[in-house]
Every structure is written in structure tokens, then in C-alpha cells.
Structure 1
Amino acid sequence: MENFSAESIPDLSGINAVVTGANSGLGLETAMVLAAKGARVDLACRDLTRGAAAQDRIRSQTGNDDVRLRRLDLGSLESVHRFAAGQDLPVDLLINNAGVMATPHRTTSDGFELQFGVNHLGHFALTGLLLPALRQAPAARVVTVSSLAHRGGRIDFEDLAAQRRYRPWSRYNQSKLANLLFTFELQRRLEAHGERLLAVAAHPGFANTNLTSGMNHPATLDILGSFFRLLGQSGAAGALPTLYAATAPEVLGGEFYGPGGPGQLRGRPVRVTPAPQASDPATARRLWDVSTELTGVRFAGLD
């Protein structure tokens, strides 16, 4: 792990990967490396124009033509169902990467607060609906991308729709905490039922990507831009914890990976410790039950 890089990843021929938000940022970097190592990669993107540009770029740079563009809008349960219904191959790697950050108060097409709906509920539903395809693979992994921001998160079960109060960063923190609670609860259920599938989490530290594009606060964007340029690492470096979680043979279910440098802001991937609230089984079970109720998606055999 100490010297892990993209070059450390073995040949991935025969591996089928699905990467959400693969048209830019960390998702594009992750998909690029997986394709370069021979994996068959589905780019799960909301914006098909940008997705097509990413597809062309990946094919051109890697020489791997087995890269497919598929539409997925995590803010629409209808879109998530349609995507899962069109999955025609086993899924060895599901990379739950897509996300939005600190957006103005908006809702998804199903009425969920946008950040919670896209970052957590969309990926919860996608994972549950792809469970049959994941079980068809001999040693599948679900890697969900969280953030250092989870440390400031708490799940506001009494106001998940943010009808009483909306603070963009608090809601982002909540969604990133939800990513970890979901991962750890999924792994507990997989282990309890003797499943081979692994659920793992990762975070990129501070990486220079376009995640802030959904914000509409110019002053905040200027400050963040300077901060990321000063302390951030490249998108390629930020994708390494995700790639490690997805491919390293020593990875175990329920683990969390991030950069090993000071403050976990940058550096090679290492196993990291989540904030205490991410490891609370009671909160995780409650979130699981609420997510099931909101999305209508059940994880067959794991209830």
C-alpha cells in the first residue's frame, strides 16, 4: 500500500466496471485507469454530451474501445431503475463516485433534497438494483466515495427534506456521512449472510476537480479555488484511494481509504479511521430503513 500507484494495478481484462459520474473529475480519472488496465467500463453519466467526450478521450488515451456510455441520473429513481434494468453483464466493480456539493436548495425529480438524494439515495438505490449483477461476479466490490466532510455530518432524520432549514455545507456533510453509514451497514449485512461481495469506502482528500460547479456563490468559489490550488492534489492522485479500494488484493470489506499525508489532504492511499458517528450501527440501521422506505428499493436476501 505504501507505494501504491496506478502502475501497481494488475491486468483487469475480464473485469466489468460501472463508474458513476465518469464524465469528469475523479470519475473520469478512475474510469481512465480501469480502462487502461483492460477493464470493460460503463460510464454512467447524466450529461451524455460530456459523457461522449469522456468516452472518446478514454478510448483514445488507453486504446481500449470496450468503454460504453450509459445514461444515469442519480436524481431520478426512474433513471436508476432504467439503468439497472439495462445491465446485461455481471458487475465486478461498482464505483459510486458521482456527487454534488453545497448546491443551492433544490430537490430531485422524486422530491428529495438534492445532495442527500443524489449523493446517497441514488447510489443506495443503484447498488440495491444492481445486486443481482454484482452477485454474478466471482469477487465483486462496491466502492463508495465519501469525503473528509463526513466528519462534520449528522443525519437529520427529522428533516431529511430540509424543509425547516437549509444550510448547503451541513447538507453536504450529511450526505457524505450517509455514504459511510451505508457502506458499513452493507458490509455488515453481507458478512451476516455469507456473501463474497465487499463494500468499501474511499475519499480523495482535497483534489482539484469540478465538484464545486453546482455552487452559485462566486466569492465562496474564489476562496475554495485558491484553497484547493494551495493544498489540493491532482484529480489523478485523488482517484488513487478509490482505485486502491477497488483493486488491491489485501482490501477487506468495511474498510475506508484516503490520502496518507498530513490531515489526509493529499498523499498515497492508506487505511483511515472514520469519524465516530460513521461507525454507529444503530444510526446506520435507521438510515438503511429510511432509505429503503424513500426509494422503495430492497436488497434481496440482506434484510
Structure 2
Amino acid sequence: MQNVDLNLLTSLDMLLAERNVTRAARRLGLSPSAMSRTLSRLRIATGDRLLVQAGRTLVPTPYAEQLTEHVHELARNARAVLQPVSSALDIATLERTFTIRANDGFVDLVGPSLIAAIARTAPHVRIRFIPKLDKDAQPLREGMIDLEIGVIGTKAPELKTRLLFQDRFVGICRTGHPLLRRPGATAKRYASYPHVAVSRKRQFSGPVDDALDRLGLRRTVVMVVPAYANAMRIVRHSDLIGLVPGSCLGMGSPADAAISAGLQHFELPVRTPPIKVSAIWHPRLHADPAHRWLRDTILTVCTDAS
């Protein structure tokens, strides 16, 4: 394709439509001599005369007659491909399925509000949530998922991110747990009880352990589970102490009675880093109007929920 000039396609389309060098030149903003030179190049490229003199007019050769409709369609498609992408988007008629990788806590937190927002503005859009088993960037790169929600943990430099909200860890225990009796959840008393930890990587330690270690304390983790919902159910029916993001308990809004009944939460006696929950996507979708609408919708829902 090194010797192919796509500008010739537009010129050929105009020459076949006008069958006049001067008029074709005028429509393309060229001089008649420039258009004549272009016709010569087209004849060399195709090996055909294309347009020949018949009195004072030009008439197409049989080969040019065959090309006319095909060339016009090619030229039109080329112009459509090579012009700026339109940002106009009719959300009400958009039909698209978005695949979002997120953990259970996020789905529980924003799922109902998100589907309600989508139903109001984009009733033909569907959302497919898939579990977040790791932070591998390859599914984003390959288009297997459209968006990821969570704490940024990938080193892929090209990915785009947007902070949705900040969360914090809180302690949980069953209602009436002795930890909450006076003097309450001091660091020493907190570390003295058995704990259940949440980790997709099956790890027994986390940020709270680093903070306890600086005080010379160590907690005993007797169980590791993959999801916060698992920890909440276990804590509700045992003396184990748990650690969950505040959003899991509906912090700042009425807690879901079905989940939080029988649980009490308390402020941790040590400081842990904030949980920064972000939307993460690949640059190839950054300017896509539909994807931008999805990101804005999720941000709005998260802002209302936090």
C-alpha cells in the first residue's frame, strides 16, 4: 500500500460524477490543471483511460462505468472513517452491554441505585458484573471488560483512572461482644481477641497488622475468607472480630437490616490508610461517548451513596 494515495479515490469519485475536469476541480477546491494531472495519475494507477473525449464532453470507459457506484461507496466510507468521531449520543436508544469487574461489596453498595439510574435514562443498556479475582490489566487491554472498580493495584501505565469515593475500615463484632464493654476497643483489647480476615489472596495479615506492629501488638487471625459478606456472617454468630469497609454497613445511610442485624461496628483503635475506590479503564474507550456516560453515571451514584 506504499504507493496508494487515498486522495485519488476522492478525485476519481468526483470525476466520474461530474465527467468534467473543470467542474470536478471546482468542487474539490483545485485548479483545472491540478485535476488534469490527477486524472493522468489515475490512468496510470488503473491502467485505463477512465474518461475520454467525446466532442466537448468526457465519457467514461466501460471499466469506469463498472467502477462508478463502487468508487462512490468507497469514497463515502473513507470520509466517514477519517472524520472526527461525533460526540452526539442518544442515551435513550443506546443498546449496549457493559462488563464491569468489581467486588461483591461494590455491587451490593451501588447495584440497586445504578440499575435504577440506568432504567431512567438508558432502558436498553445492560450491565454484566463479574467477580474481581485479581487486578490483572490484561482483560481491560483485550476488551474482555469495559470497566474495573476498586483500589488501584496495577502497574499498567496506560490505564485511565477516576476516584469514585474514599472509604475507611471499621471493626465489627456481634452485638453484646465483651470487646465493647468498658474500657472499650483499646488497641491491646482489640488485639487480644481472635479475628477473621478478608483476603482474595488468602493472606492472614493486612494494614491493621502493620499499625498494631508499630505498637508492639499482634492479633491472632484464625480464619481467612474471600469476601466481606462472609466475614460479617461469621462475626454475627461467633466471638471473632472482623474488619470491613464502612460502606459494607451502609455507613452514612440506614444499614441493610438483613446484613447488619446482630452486628455492631466500632472505630479501630489504630489508624489505617483510607480506601480509595476508583474506576479504571483502557484509553481506547476514553473518548467513547457511551463509555463516558457510564463512567459519569457510576460517579454520580457513588457520590450519592457515600
TM-score scaled by structure 2?
0.26
Structure number with greater Rg is 2
Higher strand share: 2
TM-score scaled by structure 1?
0.26
